[in-house]
Structure 1
Amino acid sequence: MTEKARNRLLSLLWLGLAGLAAAGMGFSSIYIYLKPGLPSVESLRDIRLQTPLRVYSRDMKLIGEFGEKRRTPITIEQTPETFIKAVLAAEDAGFYSHNGVSIKGLMRAASQILQTGSIQSGGSTLTMQVARNFFLSREQRFVRKFNEILLSLQIERELTKDEILALYINKIFLGNRAYGFQAAAQVYYGRDINELNVAQWAMMAGLPKAPSTYNPIANPSRALVRRNWILKRMLDLGYISQSEYKNSITAPVTARWHGHDLDLHAPYIAEMARKEAVELFGDSAYTEGYQVITSVDSRLQEAAQDALQRGLEAYDSRHGYRGPEQQLEKELLDDNDQMVDILNEIPVLGGLEPAVVTAVEPRRLQVQLRDRSVVEVAWENGLSEIRPYISENARGARIESAEEMFAPGDVIRLRRVEISPSGQEMVETEATEELADDAERQPTADPFADPGEPAAILDEPQVRVEWHLAQVPAAQGTLISLEPSDGAIRAMVGGYDFRQSHFNRATQAARQPGSSFKPFIYAAALEKGYTAASMINDAPIIFEETNMQDVWRPENDTGTFLGPTRLRKALYKSRNMVSIRLLQALGIDYALDFAENFGFERSKLARNLTIALGSSALTPLEMVRGYAAFANGGYRVEPYLVERVLDVNGETIYQALPLTVCRDCPDMAEAGAEAPEPIDLAGTSVEEDMALPAGEPIELRTLQVNPLSADPNAQALPRAPRAMSPETAFIIDSMLKDVIKRGTGRKALVMKRGDIAGKTGTTNGPRDAWFSGYSPHLATSAWVGFDSNGELGKNEYGGSAALPIWIDFMSAALEGLPERHLPQPDNIVTVRINPRTGLRTSRGGMFEVFRADRVPGHESYSSYRPGYPSGRNGSGSQEEEEESLPEELF
């Protein structure tokens, strides 16, 4: 080599070294400048992924999900190996060999910048994407890129490859509110990640690059190209076999929107649980992955939903058809796309589908549904029964032709009815299983399936589908059912449909309960010394008191009066005059004090004689809490919904401690002791208030031992206090059973159970219809009325509007359960009385139950003075003659 060449080479070497030194100094300067602003990588070890709040029934069926980001974290061990290889093939095949930064990738990105003058791709590794997703923005700036590189190097030094990969799998955004691949698998395929196949794994692995561009729902063609490229990469890298590649490359795109995939439709429950979670944990409830386990029984909740909707629809049908919901302009009938858009903006309520009438004939309608299918409504499927609504008390004559009521462009409601091969309507049908991934399945011939709905096999013989005319009820209602032993809410429906109104009438609607409040007055009388055979005069009465606005002339519904009447008979016949006179004799203050034992707030109760007729506005939740005391033998319980809360790791962080009935425990008053302080089994103090301020740790409240428990080894929940004596509870229970056997609740005899009891309630108008009742298994209240407080119409009472809903629900709820009755206290006796005087008799008459110290005198030597409790008693479980059974009216 010549001297000149040597000098040139030496110069180039020095220049290279100088360049490297300059680059090193430059990178060092950048590192020194940026290092103070970099976050601590150690925080990634304790990172809490934003996971939504989920609400479950007590049998772990999902009923609600709340939070902006839908995420279900999984560990690297729970992630299928082939799916991991799909992700690496798509994003970073050298992940396990580089130190967090790919020089080749960065050089490629730099080359693109030189060619185009702008950033085209970042050359990012999976580690760099983790750094960006957890700590940085997605803006394309050089400073951000340098931060990303520096953070990636730090991450690689402090975390293992598997830890980095697990963060990526759970953090990355994949479209449709899904963060992480497990959530995305649920959103796009309705299944867990480990239940998918290779084609689906490759499809999901293509999402991180551009979730909107390669979204298999929004852009299936582009998503397919991306998927097939990833499959080829997997084949070239040896991740899958040739046969797996061939099977996967030909697989169709099966992704579709799966929404929340709720297991149980209970939106009022979900919303109530959400509010409680926020009260407990603040706004972090939406992001910390809490699982709220409610006390709701999924079977009972479904029965309650069905019963309320059927009951409201039955009431509505009795008052006539109000006509189409709206009328579309004629030009819209020629614009199918716009017509479909309008239908899709109308919510499905109570399962009733909106549809547009496209043609009308005398005996049929042709209508179009939201899915563009055209169906027929036959004359016998609701059209022949139409009687136009005039008012709540009047209907028009039946129409003779569909043309009298309908015209093209009318928006109406239809109910889909499935008819079995035998010609019977199928009351319940299970949803068709999603078979999107099974290519060997044959497509369904169902013309009403949504476009893109997965194919399903229809077994022979096939079910026939009919469409029946319907309408959304104008009236509203609610049903709520409690476990009598501890107040656990087993079912609650706050209205006809949550999408129609979020107002929860079970907990928020304060309405007058009418005569369904009378049992609390009668129980107060029994507690004070009256008996079921005490005679009270059923006669007219006029009040002119200063605390009442005008002269008050209360009446019985029939306008008739029975004269001296036993309390038992007065209750099951719902005699208003007896209730008023009884309250007058008791004293209002005594009655109010007694009502507080059942949990009623004194401030909500009117301080006058009208409370005997249920004039005070109360919610169905308050009423069913009161009736739970009749069901459980006289104990006051407090309704609750949230049984426990689990954190993201499945650890219990909140446990409800409800007041619970303990039948074997001696009463505190009888034991002569005050209620003991709770004993914390863990040896630490117990929080009195579980609604801790947001941000403070929630301490698990352990179960406590009750020193007075009959079983010293039992872990007992806080004891429910008594609302009334066991003797009063037993007698009022027998009286309320007579409401079913021979009173205003006789429709419930169809249930053929001897352990059910309750009371109807109807207010002036009538405006409110109630039935509150129970068996020892469940206490349930049903209410029907208008939110506007409008009148329900003539012949609509608690027994006609609310009781059928109660029967429908309780029949399903109690199915298969044995009859259960309250235990008879030792000092309860049965004696024969004369039903006309309430006094003991030695022949004929009927039997009645009494406390042993309140047995009436014998009619041969006792004088009779109506209205007095002591020694003026009578009546029982068998009447000598049947009497007319009027509905009660407030």
Structure 2
Amino acid sequence: MPSSSGLGDGHDDGQGQGHGHVSGGRTRFFKSPAWEGIFRWGKRIGLAVAALAILGIVGLIFAVRHFEAQLPSIADLKGNYRPPQVTRVLARDGTLLAELFTERRTVVSIKTLPAHVKLAVLAAEDAGFYEHEGLNYFGILRAFVVNVKSGKKRQGGSTITQQVVKNLLLDSERSYKRKIREALLARKLEQELEKDEILELYLNHIYFGHGRYGIQEAARDNFGKNAKDLTIAEGALLAGLVAGPESFSPRKDMKRALSRRAFVLTQMHEKQFLNDPQYEQANNEPVRLAPSVEINSELAPEVVERARRMLLELDPEGARRGGYTIQTTIDPKLQVAARKALRDGLLAYDKRHGLTGALKVPVAPTASKGKPAKPAAKDAPFEGTPSFEKHKVLIGVATGADDAQGTIDVKVGTVTGAVKLADYERYNPQGLAASVFAPVGSLLRVSLLAPVPEEARTNITTTTTSTPLAKVPLRLESGPEGALVAIDTRTRNVLAIVGNYEAQNGGLDRATQARRQPGSTFKPIVYSYALHSRIFTPATLIDVTPAAFGNYKPSNYEGWTASDPLRLREVLANSVNVGAVRVLEQVGPANVVEWGHALGIQSVLKPDLSLALGSYEVEPIELCGAYATFAAGGMYEEPRLVTKITGPDGREVALKPQAPPRRVLDDAEAYVTTNMMTSVIDHGTGARAKELRRPLAGKTGTSNQSKDTWFAGYSTEIAAVVWVGYDDGKPLGGGESGAQTALPAWISFMKVAHENKPPSEFPRPAGVVSVRIDKQTGKLPTEGNDANTMDEVFLAGTEPTESGPANVLVGGDGGVPGPDPSASETQ
């Protein structure tokens, strides 16, 4: 026992003693001051690391919350994605008239896209899209390493979710702060939106090159089809564009585009998105690019502008975002014919008046009696500072030219402007150099295209720079302008609108935005009321000799000298002014004002005798609407240009309600009015239109001094109005009239409009009777006087019932106040 006790104490056994020594040494070592110090510092470091870790976590939480507080809302992306889209304006047959957009995009639902299109984009951009939670951590790490090594931001590790965040929610700043916000938003987006919703946002928003955004526009641009109809190869080619829309464009570099397509297809094959036969077929499929669609911007800019304004009025906020389809009533063939007809008519005028080719430097007038000669006021250059707001036509002096730029320098008062000659081929068909077309000293009619800058008003350059002042852009106004509008008489759909020669976007549409004196084209409105009143018939005899009507003294056009009374039909056919005034005096100007408004003339009309000669200005489209009412049997209906607007969501936008159709004349009154107007073409001022060889009714119009020339007329199918004149009211010159200046364009248009259509007679309704009358008396012919007779139409109950001497309407000295003396002559 003791011995074992001794062994236990380590005193009797050497080995045991040795073990006891080691054990005791270890205890003494761990209790040494050095080890205790290390242990204490280890504990301190551990605690510090833990504290720092906690602080880091807390700091990270606060940092995340700080960034989250500044993050943009993603609520608008969920079910309310409204990016800028294309608004399309279509003709009645679906022809594209224009595309209006800030970004050329058409949003489509991901449900309409074939699986292979979606898979192609995933293979090219983010194959793990449906597996990750918005962030590709390996990609981010790889990009971080590359960026650190290069010292610059060269690579991104963006997923499709991150790209959606970057493009739709964040600005374009390239910083690590932005990258943090991007990552946070990506996670948030993944939590609130389904994967398909995120992919739909991506496919509709990304840029595909050539100004096209989204998969639908890319498909249309490259292949002329909708995205839902893309083949596997086509989908792969488009998916490859995302990485470099311009560099991989098949229209720019087909070799690179095919190489990129092959890469995408290989990715799809390796990821088992395609089986072997699909891969082989797609890889060998030839690229069939659609021809570039060039919209004819000159076809109908007037229509596009009216459609744009209508949409803006109906939906101001939505219109700015786009995505609408606007269906118009325009017939593309007739629109082309209308533009050509008007241009040809204006070019013919230019040729008659020597407005094409090089301008001539005016010869100074000869002085007389020791006084310096002055040019006529109408030819004198403008003095002072021109105003853009007044939009006046001014006379300037050519001071130089830049043949390389094709511009003419023109001094207009205190301002120097520039005319870009290439925009006015109308006056320079030979393509003369600017210096040859407008020699120094030649005079040009111009108007301002932009306001005059403040510094240019004083015509002084600053002392701190020798840079010359920018020249004010000018519009060349050498020749007259014109308008043509055509309406379907049955539907009142507007078939064509031309409001200027140039066909420029934003140009003045004189068919719907300008008012001019209609001259004698207003007379049928007067005569139709006269028939309606039952006071007059086509056979009523009118005294056409000049007379005074109070302070108003109208004269007949070009010195009409006939002294014998004329039947109302002939007064209309020959456009006799005095006869029109006599009729208006008899039926009452106030009644005709009300009648004109009922026929659709919304412009101001005043109840004085000058109304008979068309002294009050109207829009061409208003006049055309009135004539269409005659053609349609007396029922007025507002002309219609837009039939349907469909929104981005596929729903129709409610159009502004039109006034219901209203009856103005009964069908018998309308027929007799029309029948009287056929005489204008049969043997009157519009006889040139007989070349169309079909029943037509119409009326020429020429305002005082030939400032405005018109022809308004119709067939059973189409009513059309043509106006020609200078914007500033400059006279068109000797020999110019409605028959000479406006009618040829009307004939050209109507010839195309009735091509391959058989002639159709104006239908004769009940309530009209035909009676043989004596041409001189307007009554029944006397016995044995058959040679000087004709058949005339009457409203039932107004036809003559007896023969005998003529009853002549003699008026004058009525003293009707307030006429407009500017309409003393008209045709």
Q: TM-score, normalised by structure 1?
A: 0.68
Post-superposition Cα deviations, 1:120-139, rounded to whole Å, max 9, x if no partner, equal: 22311001111222222231
Aligned equivalent of 1:281: 315
Aligned equivalent of 1:767: 707
Shift of 1:558: 4.6
* Residue range with higher mean Cα deviation, 43-52 or 196-205: 196-205
> Which secondary structure state, in structure 1, belongs to the residue aligned with residue 538 of structure 2?
coil
For residues 18 and 251 of structure 1, what CA distance do their matches in structure 2 show? 65
Aligned equivalent of 1:807: 747
Aligned equivalent of 1:578: 579
Shift of 1:12: 13
Q: How does 1:97-136 map to 2 (within 5 A)?
A: 97-136=131-170
Whether the aligned pair in 2 keeps the contact of 1:828 and 1:850 (CA below 8 Å) is yes
For residues 76 and 15 of structure 1, what CA distance do their matches in structure 2 show? 53
For residues 538 and 287 of structure 1, what CA distance do their matches in structure 2 show? 62
Is 2:794 the partner of 1:864? no
For residues 836 and 804 of structure 1, what CA distance do their matches in structure 2 show? 33
Post-superposition Cα deviations, 1:647-702, rounded to whole Å, max 9, x if no partner, equal: 1132212246445xxxxxxxxxxxxxxxxxxxxxxxxxxxxxxxxxxxxxxxxxxx
Is 2:789 the partner of 1:849? no
Closer/same/farther in 2, CA of residues 206 and 247 from structure 1, 3 Å limit: closer
For residues 202 and 623 of structure 2, what CA distance do their matches in structure 1 show? 52
Is 2:546 the partner of 1:540? yes
* Residue range with higher mean Cα deviation, 196-205 or 303-312: 196-205
Is 2:186 the partner of 1:152? yes
* Residue range with higher mean Cα deviation, 34-43 or 743-752: 34-43
Shift of 1:492: 0.7
Aligned alpha-carbon RMSD (Å): 4.3
Whether the aligned pair in 1 keeps the contact of 2:92 and 2:328 (CA below 8 Å) is yes
Shift of 1:479: 0.6
Of residues 515, 530, 535, the one that matches 2:536 is 530
Whether the aligned pair in 1 keeps the contact of 2:104 and 2:212 (CA below 8 Å) is yes
Aligned equivalent of 1:665: none
Shift of 1:222: 8.0
* Residue range with higher mean Cα deviation, 264-273 or 817-826: 817-826
> Which secondary structure state, in structure 1, belongs to the residue aligned with residue 315 of structure 2?
helix
Shift of 1:778: 1.8
Aligned equivalent of 1:309: 343
Aligned equivalent of 1:625: 625
Aligned equivalent of 1:872: none
* Residue range with higher mean Cα deviation, 100-109 or 843-852: 843-852
Whether the aligned pair in 1 keeps the contact of 2:117 and 2:230 (CA below 8 Å) is no
* Residue range with higher mean Cα deviation, 625-634 or 581-590: 581-590
For residues 250 and 19 of structure 1, what CA distance do their matches in structure 2 show? 61
For residues 162 and 421 of structure 2, what CA distance do their matches in structure 1 show? 43
For residues 613 and 155 of structure 1, what CA distance do their matches in structure 2 show? 71
For residues 54 and 444 of structure 2, what CA distance do their matches in structure 1 show? 93
Whether the aligned pair in 1 keeps the contact of 2:305 and 2:506 (CA below 8 Å) is no
Post-superposition Cα deviations, 1:225-269, rounded to whole Å, max 9, x if no partner, equal: 76676566556556676997899699899799756x469921110
Shift of 1:218: 7.8
Closer/same/farther in 2, CA of residues 494 and 556 from structure 1, 3 Å limit: closer
Closer/same/farther in 2, CA of residues 223 and 141 from structure 1, 3 Å limit: farther
Aligned equivalent of 1:454: none
Q: TM-score, normalised by structure 2?
A: 0.73
For residues 562 and 489 of structure 2, what CA distance do their matches in structure 1 show? 36
For residues 752 and 331 of structure 1, what CA distance do their matches in structure 2 show? 51
Post-superposition Cα deviations, 1:394-421, rounded to whole Å, max 9, x if no partner, equal: xxxxxxxxxxxxxxxxxxxxxxxxxxxx
Shift of 1:68: 1.0
Post-superposition Cα deviations, 1:723-750, rounded to whole Å, max 9, x if no partner, equal: 2233321211110111111211222222
Post-superposition Cα deviations, 1:707-731, rounded to whole Å, max 9, x if no partner, equal: xxxxxxxxxxx3x222223332121
The one-letter code of the counterpart of 1:578 is G
The one-letter code of the counterpart of 1:865 is N
Of residues 671, 675, 689, the one that matches 1:730 is 671
Highest CA radius of gyration, 1 or 2? Answer: 2
> Which secondary structure state, in structure 1, belongs to the residue aligned with residue 78 of structure 2?
helix
Q: How does 1:118-267 map to 2 (within 5 A)?
A: 118-187=152-221, 191-193=225-227, 201=235, 204-209=238-243, 211=245, 230=264, 233=267, 237=271, 261=295, 265-267=299-301
> Which secondary structure state, in structure 1, belongs to the residue aligned with residue 704 of structure 2?
coil
Whether the aligned pair in 1 keeps the contact of 2:779 and 2:801 (CA below 8 Å) is yes
Shift of 1:107: 0.5
Whether the aligned pair in 2 keeps the contact of 1:511 and 1:617 (CA below 8 Å) is yes
Aligned equivalent of 1:557: 558
Whether the aligned pair in 2 keeps the contact of 1:308 and 1:479 (CA below 8 Å) is yes
Is 2:698 the partner of 1:758? yes
Whether the aligned pair in 1 keeps the contact of 2:681 and 2:697 (CA below 8 Å) is yes
Shift of 1:599: 2.5
Identity %: 34
The one-letter code of the counterpart of 1:475 is P
Q: How does 1:612-651 map to 2 (within 5 A)?
A: 612-651=612-651
For residues 346 and 61 of structure 2, what CA distance do their matches in structure 1 show? 75
Shift of 1:200: 6.1
Shift of 1:585: 2.3
Whether the aligned pair in 2 keeps the contact of 1:727 and 1:851 (CA below 8 Å) is yes
Whether the aligned pair in 1 keeps the contact of 2:357 and 2:430 (CA below 8 Å) is no
Is 2:346 the partner of 1:346? no
Aligned equivalent of 1:677: none
Whether the aligned pair in 1 keeps the contact of 2:356 and 2:427 (CA below 8 Å) is no
Shift of 1:58: 2.5
Closer/same/farther in 2, CA of residues 13 and 757 from structure 1, 3 Å limit: farther
Closer/same/farther in 2, CA of residues 722 and 207 from structure 1, 3 Å limit: same
Post-superposition Cα deviations, 1:8-61, rounded to whole Å, max 9, x if no partner, equal: x99999999999877765554443333344455454231223223322222222
Aligned equivalent of 2:569: 568
Whether the aligned pair in 2 keeps the contact of 1:348 and 1:354 (CA below 8 Å) is no
The one-letter code of the counterpart of 2:584 is L
For residues 345 and 570 of structure 1, what CA distance do their matches in structure 2 show? 47
> Which secondary structure state, in structure 1, belongs to the residue aligned with residue 736 of structure 2?
coil
Aligned equivalent of 2:385: none
Aligned equivalent of 1:44: 77
For residues 349 and 251 of structure 1, what CA distance do their matches in structure 2 show? 43
Shift of 1:782: 0.8
The one-letter code of the counterpart of 2:548 is I
- Mark the runs of 5 or more structure 2 residues left unpaired by the alignment: 1-29, 360-397, 407-417, 437-441, 446-475, 812-824
For residues 163 and 118 of structure 2, what CA distance do their matches in structure 1 show? 16
> Which secondary structure state, in structure 1, belongs to the residue aligned with residue 162 of structure 2?
helix
> Which secondary structure state, in structure 1, belongs to the residue aligned with residue 539 of structure 2?
coil
For residues 86 and 16 of structure 1, what CA distance do their matches in structure 2 show? 48
For residues 89 and 405 of structure 2, what CA distance do their matches in structure 1 show? 42
Whether the aligned pair in 2 keeps the contact of 1:643 and 1:656 (CA below 8 Å) is no
Closer/same/farther in 2, CA of residues 312 and 239 from structure 1, 3 Å limit: farther
For residues 242 and 391 of structure 1, what CA distance do their matches in structure 2 show? 71
Aligned equivalent of 2:690: 749
Q: How does 1:278-427 map to 2 (within 5 A)?
A: 278-320=312-354, 322-324=356-358, 346-347=422-423
Closer/same/farther in 2, CA of residues 569 and 309 from structure 1, 3 Å limit: same
The one-letter code of the counterpart of 2:517 is Q
The one-letter code of the counterpart of 2:193 is L
Closer/same/farther in 2, CA of residues 15 and 224 from structure 1, 3 Å limit: farther
Post-superposition Cα deviations, 1:279-325, rounded to whole Å, max 9, x if no partner, equal: 11114212142222222223322222222223222333333362159
For residues 566 and 854 of structure 1, what CA distance do their matches in structure 2 show? 15
Shift of 1:564: 0.9
For residues 628 and 671 of structure 2, what CA distance do their matches in structure 1 show? 13
For residues 777 and 292 of structure 1, what CA distance do their matches in structure 2 show? 25
Larger helix proportion of the pair: 2
Shift of 1:487: 3.3
**Aligned length, in residue pairs:** 683
Shift of 1:72: 0.8
